[in-house]
Each structure stands twice: as C-alpha cells, then as structure tokens.
C-alpha cells in the first residue's frame, strides 16, 4: 500500500511548486561563494585549450573520470568562467534530479512517496550544496537517478516476460555510461545493478526475453573499456587520498548525517521513518515488486550494499569511502524516509505531516545552518581580494623594490584565476609553503629584493619553518585568517 491516491492535477501542481522551490534554492547565490580547492582544480583542468588536453590532464591529475571537466571545458569556451557559470551545469542537474527522483519514486511506490522524496531532495542540504558546486556530484546524482529509473522499468518488463524493445535498453546504456564517466562510484553502482539483474532474472537472462539486458550490459562493458583500463591504474592516485580515514561504524553515522543536514535530530527522525518503512515492508506485502523483492527491501539493499562494497575495497586497497562519493545511495535513503511517512499517515494527515517536515527542513537550512548567510567553502577569492585591495600600483610583481606573491596551494593557477577575475595584473611568483620550498623562496627574494611579500594559503597549510624564515627577513604587518585560507603581508 502507498500513502493513498493523489489527484493528477494536484500532483502536477505540487510537483511544479517543488521544482520551483528547488530551482530557486539552487540558482540563488550560485556565485556567492568562492570556488574552493576541488572546484579550482576543475576550473584549471577544463580551461586547457584543447579537449584532448582536458581529458589527459583530468586522468593524470584529478583521479576522477573526465566527463564533468569536458562539460566545463565547453562552458568556459562558449559562456565564460565565472563562479556562477562554472556551477551552472550542476545547478541544472540538481533541478532535473528532483524531477527524476519523482519519476523513480512513482515507479517504485506511488505519487505520494514520489512527491515527498522530491520535496526532501529540493530542500535538504546535501543535494543543494552539490548543486552549487563545480564538481561532478550533482550530475552524477542525476545520471544515477535516470539510469536507475530505466533499469527498474527494464527489469520489470523482462520479469513479466514482455519485450523491452530498443529504446529502453538504449536509454539505460546512455545513462549508465554517463554514471561511469562522471565518477568511479557511478561505475560501481552500474556494476552492482548488473549483478542484481543476473540474480533477479536468473535463467530468464539468457532467454529470448532477457537478451535486451545482455545486450545492454555488453554495450556498457564495451563503452566503458577505456574507463576500466584507467580504473585499474587508480593506485597511482592513492597518495592524494591519504586524508580519507579507514571506514568504521562511525562512517555510516557520518554518512546519514551528511544526507540529513548534519543535524543529529533530523538524522534520528529520518532513521525512525526509514525503520518504519522497512518494518512495514517486512510485515505486509508491498505492491510493484521487483521480482522477489519489495520496493523497500530493494531500496534498503541499494542503500547498504554500495557502502559495504566501498568499505571492502577501502580495506583491500586504499581508503576511498567518503560521504560525497556515496551520493549514489542518496535516492534510496530519501525514498525510504518518504515511504515511512506514508506508512504512518494518509490523506490530509499525510499532507500536513509532510508539509510540516519540509517547512522545518527549510527553516533549519536557512537559519540554523545559515546556508546563504555564512561561508561554507574555502575563501580563495577573499584571500586574493585582500591582496588586490591593499596592492600598490607602483609595486610591479617581482621587480626590485616592489612586491612578490608566494602561494601555498596545489597549483599557482588557483590564485591566478582570482587575480585575473578581479582585474589584477599580479600573479603568484612562486608556489611555496613547506620546508622544501625555502631554498627557492630565498633565491626569489635575493633576486627581486622586494619591499613587500604577500603569502597566500588555500586548502594546504603553511609550514612554521617558512613563516619563521620570512619573519627573520621581514616584519609581519598583517595576517588575515579566512575559512580554509590565510593572507600574510610581510614588509622590509
């Protein structure tokens, strides 16, 4: 059973309102915050002159498949490179993901659950945050939702012995390949769907009716062959993931908090409704089953199995289980919570309960969480803006008696992007910050003899030895501490 029938006209109006709310939240303040370290990585790679260079550099340095950087390459080439434009594809995908989750929820349960899940997706922090980030996660979520919708429809047709035709398998292959080339966890989810297809269809997979599924996975395998070769070489990026802690039981708790606004209260309430959905599925049969599985049990497996698989890979190779990588499991959690709501209420009571929950989530997001009022991303832009505001026109960079800029980041281009955006001719003269860079810093200062030295930091920390070295040669005049960034001004 579901939460009761919803009149089609009312469902259309409610879905339109949810989409408008989700779009407003995603496009409002799209360029308000600075690009942070990972977004600047995407900007730098996608700004390379040729698409082939973008793909090669993404594979060599980013650790992720290149599809998102390829999309941003055309955005920067044809539209521009402002923060809002770089995040625009993610925002569009975030709005479309609301619609895609509605259709998936209606496939699995009914209109009431679909509307509630779509509303949760519209107002919760996690999908909103990644809809305003120039990284692949929002596009990945959309691709996962579309691929899963086509997969459920394909599985249902084949389970019923009906012809799948050509369009449905082709759509699943296209969305599945998008998952694979947006993120490795997208490829992992598609692989798990292949295993589930084999288990649920059994011998029917090799029958005449099952051939479309076999053909679809053959096409997916063929299309992802270059990705598999690259995937096998991922160990070379393991050092850049050293910050990821080995998974434990706390990882699951952190993931649930990640999905529900990092609020213990909201997470606890969500877990209660999720449990209600699973208990109800265990005690009474559910409609719209996927072979032997009820929709709720299927979603529970979708939520848990990828986490267990990622934990196993983390223990066997190197840690890779992070909350943002597990955004591929987000739809299952939101749909299960929505199902829990429809178990405990129906009709006007469900409308009141669901509406109140969405309103409280929105209030928590805007006021308690301070989503639009406080910075949440590393302030590279604000660090550079401080230098530009305090800069002296006569101090040409690296000229005798002028000023030099030291930058502590993975690439000088991260700060240079903002120097260019803010209309300054200044650029980072040397990437420095750790002990190994002290000799190069000394050589630059001996050559340029600057009166002023700016030291910028973003994402990476500056070692105390470099600060002590600069302090012996110059007087520290200013230090601006920002979120994930710092600025020091030294003068002779």
Q: Please give the pLDDT value at position 237.
A: 59
- CB neighbours of 232 closer than 8 A, spacing ≥ 6? none
Q: Is residue 326 within 8 Å of residue 127, measured between CB atoms?
A: no
50 secondary structure, DSSP code: S
- CB neighbours of 450 closer than 8 A, spacing ≥ 6? 395, 398, 400, 401, 402, 403, 404, 492
Domain residue spans in the chain? Answer: 380-491
Q: Please give the pLDDT value at position 205.
A: 81
Q: Please give the pLDDT value at position 426.
A: 94
Angular region, 262: left φ>0, alpha ψ -120 to 50, beta rest:
left
Which 3 state secondary structure label does DSSP give 5?
A: coil
Q: Which of 56, 71, 98, 305 is nearest to 188 (CA)?
A: 305
Q: Is residue 154 within 8 Å of residue 168, measured between CB atoms?
A: yes
Q: Which of 75, 30, 129 is nearest to 376 (CA)?
A: 129
Q: Is residue 406 within 8 Å of residue 433, measured between CB atoms?
A: yes
Which 3 state secondary structure label does DSSP give 488?
A: strand
The rounded average pLDDT for each run of 10 residues, N- to C-terminus, in the chain (492 residues) is 76 97 98 97 96 91 89 96 98 98 97 97 98 98 98 90 86 97 96 94 80 91 90 65 75 93 96 97 87 94 95 84 94 98 95 96 93 96 96 56 91 97 95 96 95 96 96 96 97 92
How does pLDDT run across 338-379, given as a tens digit for each residue?
A: 999 999 999 999 999 999 999 999 999 999 889 999 999 999
Q: Please give the pLDDT value at position 480.
A: 97
How does pLDDT run across 62-113, given as a tens digit for each residue?
A: 778 999 999 999 999 999 999 999 999 999 999 999 999 999 999 999 999 9
Alpha helices, H only, 319-463: 330-344, 347-363, 380-390, 413-421, 438-448
Q: Is residue 140 within 8 Å of residue 179, measured between CB atoms?
A: yes
Instruction: Tell if the pTM clears 0.85, that is, is over it.
Output: yes
Distances (CA, A) of 329 to 127, 288, 301, 302, 346: 12, 21, 10, 6, 27
Q: Please give the pLDDT value at position 397.
A: 47
CB neighbour burial string for 296-305, b if at least 16 within 10 angstroms, e if fewer? bbbbbebbeb
Q: Please give the pLDDT value at position 400.
A: 47
């Amino acid at each position: 059973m579901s939460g009761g029938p919803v009149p089609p006209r009312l469902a259309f109006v409610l879905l339109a309102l949810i989409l408008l709310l989700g779009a407003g939240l995603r496009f409002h303040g799209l360029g308000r915050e600075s690009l942070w370290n990972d977004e600047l990585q995407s900007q730098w790679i996608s700004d390379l002159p040729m698409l082939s260079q973008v793909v090669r550099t993404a594979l060599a340095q980013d650790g992720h498949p290149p599809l998102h950087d390829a999309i941003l390459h055309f955005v920067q080439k044809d539209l521009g490179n402002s923060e809002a434009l770089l995040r625009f594809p993610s925002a569009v995908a975030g709005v479309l993901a609301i619609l895609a989750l509605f259709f998936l929820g209606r496939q699995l349960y009914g209109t009431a659950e679909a509307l509630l899940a779509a509303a949760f997706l519209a107002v919760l922090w996690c999908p909103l945050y990644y809809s305003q980030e120039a990284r692949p996660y929002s596009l990945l979520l959309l691709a996962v939702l579309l691929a899963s919708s086509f997969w459920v429809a394909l599985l249902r047709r084949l389970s019923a012995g009906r012809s799948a035709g050509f369009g449905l398998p082709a759509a699943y292959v296209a969305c599945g390949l998008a998952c694979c080339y947006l993120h490795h966890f997208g490829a992992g989810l598609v692989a798990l769907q292949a295993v589930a297809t084999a288990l649920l269809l059994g011998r029917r997979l090799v029958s005449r009716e099952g051939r479309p599924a076999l053909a679809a996975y053959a096409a997916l395998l063929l299309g992802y062959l270059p990705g598999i070769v690259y995937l096998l070489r991922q160990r070379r990026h393991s050092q850049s993931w050293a910050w990821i802690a080995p998974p434990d039981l706390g990882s699951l708790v952190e993931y649930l908090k990640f999905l529900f606004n990092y609020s213990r209260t909201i997470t606890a309430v969500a877990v209660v409704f999720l449990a209600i959905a699973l208990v109800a599925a265990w005690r009474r049969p559910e409609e719209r089953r996927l072979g032997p599985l009820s929709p709720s049990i299927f979603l529970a497996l979708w939520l848990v199995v990828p986490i267990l698989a990622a934990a196993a890979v983390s223990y066997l190779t190197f840690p890779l289980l992070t909350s943002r990588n597990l955004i591929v499991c987000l739809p299952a959690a939101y749909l299960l919570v929505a199902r829990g709501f429809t178990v405990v209420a129906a009709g006007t009571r469900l409308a009141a309960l669901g509406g109140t929950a969405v309103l409280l989530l929105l209030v928590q997001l805007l006021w308690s969480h301070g989503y639009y009022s406080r910075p949440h991303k590393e302030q590279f832009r604000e660090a550079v803006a401080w230098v530009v505001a305090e800069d002296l026109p006569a101090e040409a960079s690296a000229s005798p008696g002028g000023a030099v800029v030291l930058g502590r980041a993975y690439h000088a281009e991260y700060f240079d992007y903002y120097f260019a955006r803010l209309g300054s001719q200044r650029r980072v003269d040397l990437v420095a910050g750790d002990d190994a860079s002290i000799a190069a810093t000394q050589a630059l200062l001996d050559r340029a003899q600057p009166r002023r030295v700016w030291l910028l930091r973003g994402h990476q920390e500056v070692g105390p030895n470099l600060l002590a070295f600069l302090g012996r040669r110059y007087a520290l005049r200013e230090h601006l501490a920002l979120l994930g960034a710092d600025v020091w001004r030294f003068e002779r």
